[in-house]
Amino acid sequence: MKVAFFSAKQYDINAFDAANDGGIDFTHLHPSLDLRTCVLAEGHDAICVFVNDTLDAATLEEIQKLNIKYIALRSAGTNNVDLKKANELGLKVVSVPAYSPEAVAEFAVGLMLTVIRKYHKAYARVRDSNFTLTGLEGFNLQGRTVGLIGTGKIGMCVGRILAKGFQSKVIAYDIKRDEKAAAEAGVEYVDDLDTVLKNSEIISLHAPLLDSTKHIINADALRKMRDGAVLINTSRGGLIDTKALVEALKSGKLRAVALDVYEGEEAYFYQDSSDKVIHDDLLSRLMSFHNVFISGHQAFLTHEALAGIAETTIKNLLQLHAGEECPNEVKA
Protein backbone atom coordinates (compact mmCIF):
# COMPACT_ATOMS: atom_id res chain seq x y z
CA MET A 1 0.00 0.00 0.00
CA LYS A 2 1.46 3.34 -1.09
CA VAL A 3 0.60 6.40 0.97
CA ALA A 4 1.48 10.04 0.24
CA PHE A 5 2.28 11.58 3.63
CA PHE A 6 1.73 15.36 3.47
CA SER A 7 3.01 18.00 5.93
CA ALA A 8 5.71 15.59 7.06
CA LYS A 9 7.91 16.72 9.93
CA GLN A 10 10.84 14.77 11.32
CA TYR A 11 8.94 13.89 14.50
CA ASP A 12 6.14 12.45 12.34
CA ILE A 13 8.58 10.43 10.27
CA ASN A 14 10.30 9.02 13.36
CA ALA A 15 7.00 8.01 14.98
CA PHE A 16 5.58 6.38 11.85
CA ASP A 17 8.83 4.57 11.05
CA ALA A 18 8.79 3.08 14.54
CA ALA A 19 5.16 1.94 14.20
CA ASN A 20 5.33 0.67 10.61
CA ASP A 21 6.25 -3.00 10.20
CA GLY A 22 6.60 -2.64 6.45
CA GLY A 23 2.95 -3.03 5.53
CA ILE A 24 2.79 0.51 4.19
CA ASP A 25 5.13 2.37 1.85
CA PHE A 26 5.05 6.02 2.94
CA THR A 27 6.25 8.84 0.69
CA HIS A 28 7.09 11.69 3.05
CA LEU A 29 6.21 15.06 1.54
CA HIS A 30 7.07 18.30 3.31
CA PRO A 31 4.50 20.51 1.54
CA SER A 32 1.00 20.73 2.97
CA LEU A 33 -1.87 19.42 0.86
CA ASP A 34 -3.97 21.81 -1.17
CA LEU A 35 -5.20 22.16 -4.74
CA ARG A 36 -1.72 23.04 -5.99
CA THR A 37 0.17 20.21 -4.29
CA CYS A 38 -2.29 17.33 -4.56
CA VAL A 39 -0.59 16.20 -7.80
CA LEU A 40 2.22 14.89 -5.56
CA ALA A 41 -0.14 12.10 -4.50
CA GLU A 42 -0.22 10.58 -7.99
CA GLY A 43 0.62 6.89 -7.98
CA HIS A 44 -0.46 6.33 -4.38
CA ASP A 45 -3.40 4.46 -2.89
CA ALA A 46 -4.01 6.89 -0.04
CA ILE A 47 -3.03 10.22 1.43
CA CYS A 48 -2.15 10.94 5.06
CA VAL A 49 -2.77 14.50 6.22
CA PHE A 50 -2.74 16.74 9.29
CA VAL A 51 -4.84 19.57 10.70
CA ASN A 52 -3.75 22.38 8.37
CA ASP A 53 -3.92 20.43 5.13
CA THR A 54 -6.77 21.64 2.93
CA LEU A 55 -9.25 19.06 1.68
CA ASP A 56 -11.99 21.22 0.24
CA ALA A 57 -14.30 20.13 -2.59
CA ALA A 58 -11.93 21.21 -5.38
CA THR A 59 -8.93 19.42 -3.84
CA LEU A 60 -10.95 16.26 -3.21
CA GLU A 61 -12.08 16.17 -6.84
CA GLU A 62 -8.46 16.28 -7.97
CA ILE A 63 -7.52 13.62 -5.41
CA GLN A 64 -10.25 11.35 -6.76
CA LYS A 65 -9.01 11.84 -10.34
CA LEU A 66 -5.62 10.53 -9.19
CA ASN A 67 -7.33 7.28 -8.12
CA ILE A 68 -6.75 7.91 -4.44
CA LYS A 69 -9.10 5.72 -2.42
CA TYR A 70 -8.43 6.65 1.20
CA ILE A 71 -7.76 9.75 3.28
CA ALA A 72 -6.13 9.18 6.66
CA LEU A 73 -6.21 12.07 9.10
CA ARG A 74 -3.48 12.21 11.74
CA SER A 75 -5.89 14.08 14.00
CA ALA A 76 -9.21 13.85 15.78
CA GLY A 77 -10.66 16.95 14.16
CA THR A 78 -12.12 16.73 10.66
CA ASN A 79 -13.03 20.37 10.08
CA ASN A 80 -10.44 20.70 7.29
CA VAL A 81 -12.21 18.05 5.19
CA ASP A 82 -15.38 18.50 3.14
CA LEU A 83 -16.81 15.21 4.36
CA LYS A 84 -19.97 15.47 2.30
CA LYS A 85 -17.93 15.85 -0.89
CA ALA A 86 -15.62 13.03 0.11
CA ASN A 87 -18.58 10.71 0.61
CA GLU A 88 -20.04 11.74 -2.76
CA LEU A 89 -16.73 10.92 -4.46
CA GLY A 90 -16.44 7.55 -2.75
CA LEU A 91 -13.37 8.56 -0.76
CA LYS A 92 -13.11 6.84 2.60
CA VAL A 93 -11.95 9.13 5.42
CA VAL A 94 -10.50 7.87 8.70
CA SER A 95 -9.28 9.80 11.72
CA VAL A 96 -7.57 9.29 15.07
CA PRO A 97 -10.38 9.99 17.56
CA ALA A 98 -8.17 9.68 20.65
CA TYR A 99 -4.43 9.90 21.16
CA SER A 100 -3.09 10.54 24.64
CA PRO A 101 -5.69 13.10 25.75
CA GLU A 102 -3.35 13.73 28.68
CA ALA A 103 -0.87 15.36 26.28
CA VAL A 104 -3.25 18.16 25.32
CA ALA A 105 -4.85 18.38 28.76
CA GLU A 106 -1.54 18.80 30.55
CA PHE A 107 -0.49 21.44 28.03
CA ALA A 108 -3.74 23.33 28.57
CA VAL A 109 -3.15 23.43 32.32
CA GLY A 110 0.43 24.48 31.62
CA LEU A 111 -0.87 27.41 29.58
CA MET A 112 -3.12 28.43 32.46
CA LEU A 113 -0.19 28.47 34.85
CA THR A 114 2.01 30.29 32.34
CA VAL A 115 -0.29 33.27 31.85
CA ILE A 116 -1.55 33.36 35.44
CA ARG A 117 1.88 33.05 37.11
CA LYS A 118 3.70 34.71 34.18
CA TYR A 119 6.46 32.14 33.75
CA HIS A 120 7.26 33.46 30.29
CA LYS A 121 7.78 37.01 31.55
CA ALA A 122 9.94 35.84 34.48
CA TYR A 123 12.08 33.74 32.13
CA ALA A 124 12.65 36.67 29.78
CA ARG A 125 13.57 38.98 32.67
CA VAL A 126 16.06 36.64 34.26
CA ARG A 127 17.71 36.05 30.88
CA ASP A 128 18.47 39.79 30.98
CA SER A 129 19.69 39.53 34.59
CA ASN A 130 16.56 41.33 35.79
CA PHE A 131 15.37 39.68 39.00
CA THR A 132 12.64 42.15 39.94
CA LEU A 133 9.17 40.82 40.73
CA THR A 134 7.02 43.87 39.99
CA GLY A 135 4.23 42.98 37.57
CA LEU A 136 4.57 39.23 38.08
CA GLU A 137 1.73 38.86 40.56
CA GLY A 138 -0.62 35.97 39.83
CA PHE A 139 -3.31 34.05 41.70
CA ASN A 140 -3.88 30.54 43.00
CA LEU A 141 -5.82 27.95 41.05
CA GLN A 142 -6.99 26.45 44.34
CA GLY A 143 -10.58 27.46 44.97
CA ARG A 144 -10.97 29.27 41.65
CA THR A 145 -13.85 28.49 39.30
CA VAL A 146 -12.72 27.06 35.98
CA GLY A 147 -15.22 26.59 33.17
CA LEU A 148 -14.83 23.96 30.48
CA ILE A 149 -16.56 24.23 27.14
CA GLY A 150 -16.52 20.66 25.86
CA THR A 151 -16.04 17.54 27.96
CA GLY A 152 -14.66 14.92 25.62
CA LYS A 153 -11.62 12.92 26.68
CA ILE A 154 -9.36 15.99 26.72
CA GLY A 155 -11.80 18.32 28.43
CA MET A 156 -12.62 15.77 31.11
CA CYS A 157 -8.93 15.15 31.70
CA VAL A 158 -8.38 18.90 32.18
CA GLY A 159 -11.25 18.94 34.65
CA ARG A 160 -9.80 16.04 36.61
CA ILE A 161 -6.34 17.63 36.83
CA LEU A 162 -7.80 20.91 38.07
CA ALA A 163 -10.40 19.49 40.44
CA LYS A 164 -8.32 16.69 41.93
CA GLY A 165 -4.86 18.21 41.64
CA PHE A 166 -5.43 21.93 42.22
CA GLN A 167 -8.70 21.73 44.15
CA SER A 168 -10.36 24.14 41.74
CA LYS A 169 -14.10 24.30 41.31
CA VAL A 170 -14.69 22.99 37.79
CA ILE A 171 -17.95 23.60 35.94
CA ALA A 172 -18.64 22.50 32.38
CA TYR A 173 -21.06 22.78 29.49
CA ASP A 174 -21.49 20.21 26.73
CA ILE A 175 -24.47 19.15 24.65
CA LYS A 176 -23.41 15.55 25.34
CA ARG A 177 -22.99 14.85 29.01
CA ASP A 178 -21.02 12.04 30.60
CA GLU A 179 -22.33 12.27 34.15
CA LYS A 180 -20.36 9.26 35.40
CA ALA A 181 -17.02 10.54 34.11
CA ALA A 182 -17.81 14.02 35.42
CA ALA A 183 -18.57 12.70 38.91
CA GLU A 184 -15.30 10.74 38.92
CA ALA A 185 -13.32 13.76 37.72
CA GLY A 186 -14.93 16.24 40.10
CA VAL A 187 -16.58 18.20 37.29
CA GLU A 188 -20.03 19.76 37.69
CA TYR A 189 -22.22 20.18 34.60
CA VAL A 190 -24.27 23.35 34.21
CA ASP A 191 -27.38 23.75 32.09
CA ASP A 192 -26.23 26.35 29.60
CA LEU A 193 -23.20 28.06 28.12
CA ASP A 194 -24.06 31.41 29.71
CA THR A 195 -23.59 29.92 33.17
CA VAL A 196 -20.02 28.94 32.29
CA LEU A 197 -19.32 32.34 30.74
CA LYS A 198 -20.70 34.38 33.65
CA ASN A 199 -19.29 32.35 36.53
CA SER A 200 -15.84 31.22 35.44
CA GLU A 201 -12.60 32.99 36.32
CA ILE A 202 -10.81 30.80 33.77
CA ILE A 203 -12.41 29.33 30.64
CA SER A 204 -10.79 26.51 28.68
CA LEU A 205 -12.06 25.41 25.27
CA HIS A 206 -12.23 21.72 24.36
CA ALA A 207 -14.92 21.52 21.68
CA PRO A 208 -14.61 20.32 18.08
CA LEU A 209 -14.92 22.91 15.32
CA LEU A 210 -18.35 22.47 13.76
CA ASP A 211 -20.83 24.87 12.17
CA SER A 212 -22.54 24.99 15.55
CA THR A 213 -19.34 25.82 17.48
CA LYS A 214 -17.61 28.19 15.06
CA HIS A 215 -17.00 31.48 16.91
CA ILE A 216 -18.70 30.15 20.01
CA ILE A 217 -16.55 32.74 21.75
CA ASN A 218 -17.79 35.86 19.97
CA ALA A 219 -18.44 39.47 21.01
CA ASP A 220 -21.61 38.52 22.87
CA ALA A 221 -19.92 35.66 24.72
CA LEU A 222 -16.98 37.86 25.65
CA ARG A 223 -19.32 40.50 27.06
CA LYS A 224 -20.92 37.85 29.28
CA MET A 225 -17.58 36.71 30.69
CA ARG A 226 -16.39 38.06 34.02
CA ASP A 227 -14.13 41.09 33.98
CA GLY A 228 -10.56 39.87 34.37
CA ALA A 229 -11.27 36.34 33.15
CA VAL A 230 -8.58 34.14 31.59
CA LEU A 231 -9.27 32.39 28.26
CA ILE A 232 -7.41 29.25 27.12
CA ASN A 233 -7.75 27.54 23.72
CA THR A 234 -5.96 24.31 22.84
CA SER A 235 -8.74 22.97 20.62
CA ARG A 236 -9.42 24.73 17.30
CA GLY A 237 -8.75 28.35 16.41
CA GLY A 238 -12.13 28.83 14.77
CA LEU A 239 -13.89 28.51 18.11
CA ILE A 240 -12.91 32.13 18.77
CA ASP A 241 -13.89 35.19 16.76
CA THR A 242 -10.46 36.78 16.64
CA LYS A 243 -11.70 40.29 15.82
CA ALA A 244 -13.95 40.21 18.87
CA LEU A 245 -11.11 38.83 20.99
CA VAL A 246 -8.82 41.69 19.97
CA GLU A 247 -11.49 44.23 20.92
CA ALA A 248 -11.99 42.54 24.30
CA LEU A 249 -8.26 42.68 24.95
CA LYS A 250 -8.06 46.33 23.94
CA SER A 251 -10.87 47.20 26.36
CA GLY A 252 -9.15 45.40 29.24
CA LYS A 253 -12.00 42.90 29.60
CA LEU A 254 -9.66 39.90 29.90
CA ARG A 255 -6.81 39.37 32.32
CA ALA A 256 -4.94 37.03 29.99
CA VAL A 257 -5.32 34.80 26.95
CA ALA A 258 -3.33 31.70 25.97
CA LEU A 259 -3.75 30.23 22.50
CA ASP A 260 -2.17 27.10 21.07
CA VAL A 261 -4.42 27.43 18.01
CA TYR A 262 -5.51 30.30 15.79
CA GLU A 263 -8.20 30.45 13.12
CA GLY A 264 -5.77 31.59 10.43
CA GLU A 265 -2.91 29.40 11.58
CA GLU A 266 -2.51 27.39 8.37
CA ALA A 267 -0.64 30.30 6.77
CA TYR A 268 2.07 30.39 9.46
CA PHE A 269 2.02 27.49 11.93
CA TYR A 270 4.45 24.58 11.47
CA GLN A 271 6.87 26.74 9.48
CA ASP A 272 9.64 29.23 10.21
CA SER A 273 8.49 32.76 9.41
CA SER A 274 11.14 34.53 11.47
CA ASP A 275 12.59 36.23 8.40
CA LYS A 276 9.22 37.13 6.91
CA VAL A 277 6.62 39.82 7.44
CA ILE A 278 3.44 38.62 9.13
CA HIS A 279 0.68 39.81 6.81
CA ASP A 280 -2.12 38.64 9.09
CA ASP A 281 -2.95 41.84 10.97
CA LEU A 282 -5.05 40.06 13.58
CA LEU A 283 -2.27 37.62 14.41
CA SER A 284 0.22 40.48 14.62
CA ARG A 285 -2.12 42.40 16.91
CA LEU A 286 -2.58 39.40 19.19
CA MET A 287 1.19 38.94 19.40
CA SER A 288 1.55 42.58 20.48
CA PHE A 289 -0.50 42.24 23.68
CA HIS A 290 1.53 41.83 26.86
CA ASN A 291 -1.10 39.49 28.31
CA VAL A 292 -1.42 37.11 25.35
CA PHE A 293 0.65 33.95 25.04
CA ILE A 294 0.65 32.09 21.71
CA SER A 295 2.25 28.75 20.90
CA GLY A 296 2.28 27.02 17.53
CA HIS A 297 -0.29 24.21 17.92
CA GLN A 298 2.04 21.99 19.91
CA ALA A 299 -0.24 20.70 22.66
CA PHE A 300 -0.31 17.24 21.05
CA LEU A 301 3.47 17.00 20.73
CA THR A 302 4.58 14.29 23.15
CA HIS A 303 6.24 10.94 22.51
CA GLU A 304 3.14 9.16 23.74
CA ALA A 305 0.73 11.10 21.53
CA LEU A 306 2.89 10.76 18.41
CA ALA A 307 3.17 7.01 18.96
CA GLY A 308 -0.60 6.74 19.42
CA ILE A 309 -1.30 8.76 16.28
CA ALA A 310 1.07 6.61 14.23
CA GLU A 311 -0.24 3.29 15.50
CA THR A 312 -3.90 4.20 14.98
CA THR A 313 -3.33 5.76 11.55
CA ILE A 314 -1.42 2.72 10.29
CA LYS A 315 -4.08 0.36 11.65
CA ASN A 316 -6.80 2.46 9.97
CA LEU A 317 -5.04 2.30 6.60
CA LEU A 318 -4.37 -1.43 6.77
CA GLN A 319 -8.00 -2.14 7.66
CA LEU A 320 -9.20 -0.11 4.67
CA HIS A 321 -6.68 -1.73 2.35
CA ALA A 322 -7.81 -5.19 3.47
CA GLY A 323 -11.45 -4.30 2.82
CA GLU A 324 -12.30 -4.51 6.51
CA GLU A 325 -14.66 -2.21 8.36
CA CYS A 326 -12.70 0.52 10.14
CA PRO A 327 -14.29 1.81 13.37
CA ASN A 328 -12.55 5.15 12.88
CA GLU A 329 -14.11 5.91 9.51
CA VAL A 330 -15.69 9.37 9.42
CA LYS A 331 -18.77 10.17 7.38
CA ALA A 332 -20.65 13.40 6.76
Report the C-alpha gap between 22 and 210 in whole angstroms. 36
Residues 6+ apart with CB under 8 A from 82: 55, 56, 57, 60
Of 114, 137, 116, 133, nearest in space to 125 by CA: 133
Element (H, E) at 114: helix 101-117
> Phi and psi dihedrals of 72, rounded to 5?
-110, 115
Residues 6+ apart with CB under 8 A from 265: 52, 237, 296, 297
The residue type of 184 is: E
What Å distances lie between residue 8 and 14, 51, 199, 210, 236, CA to CA?
10, 12, 42, 26, 20
Report the C-alpha gap between 298 and 201 in whole angstroms. 25
The residue type of 120 is: H
- What angle (nearest 5°) sits at the alpha carbon of residue 68, between those of residues 327 and 310? 45
**Is 226 labeled as catalytic in the residue annotation?**
no
**Is 297 labeled as catalytic in the residue annotation?**
yes
Q: Which of 74, 201, 255, 265 is the catalytic position?
A: 265
Element (H, E) at 2: strand 2-5
CB atoms within 10 A of CB 331: 10
> Phi and psi dihedrals of 40, rounded to 5?
-65, -15
Q: Which of 44, 144, 215, 297 is the catalytic position?
A: 297
Residues 6+ apart with CB under 8 A from 136: 117, 118, 121, 122
Residues 6+ apart with CB under 8 A from 209: 77, 79, 235, 236, 238, 239
**Is 106 labeled as catalytic in the residue annotation?**
no
Q: Which of 160, 236, 263, 266 is the catalytic position?
A: 236
Residues marked active site are found at 236, 265, 297
